[in-house]
Amino acid sequence: MSIASVTSTTGVNGATTSAKAGQGWGAMGAEDFVKLLTTQLQNQDPTEPVDNTQMLAQLAQFSSLSNLNDIKDSLSGTGQQADTLAAISTKLDTLNSTVAKLLASQPTTSQA
């Protein structure tokens, strides 16, 4: 099943939907989730309100997803930092060997 791209339109109670709908779930953030949640609460059937356990489960899932995205971003930054540290280490090894060669080539002076 594919999701067609949606442009900005006016929905229930004048709420405006964004073009993010055509980008898939990955483009949604915390603000979008809160908008969906408040719209769901505003439009629920008063005789059969949403089950609290379902709502809490949705909030917990969103919180977990948000935390996992933060961890993913942190780990991707760590990989880049590791590459940079490896390059610095290589440069320092080269510099150390160059300094050692220069020191070895210097004549030694004896003090009396």
Mean pLDDT of 55-62: 82
Q: How confident is the model at residue 6 (pLDDT cuts 50, 70, 90)?
A: very low
Do 70 and 76 meet the contact criterion of CB atoms below 8 Å apart?
no
Among 23-27, 41-45, 74-78, 90-94, the range with the most confident prediction by mean pLDDT is: 90-94
Label residue 92 by pLDDT band (50, 70, 90): very high
Mean pLDDT, rounded, of the chain? 75
Beta carbons of 40 and 50 less than 8 angstroms apart = yes
In terms of pTM, does the model score above 0.85? no
Question: Measured between alpha carbons, how far is 39 from 43 in angstroms, rounded to an integer?
Answer: 6
- Where is 16: in which H helix or E strand? strand 16-17
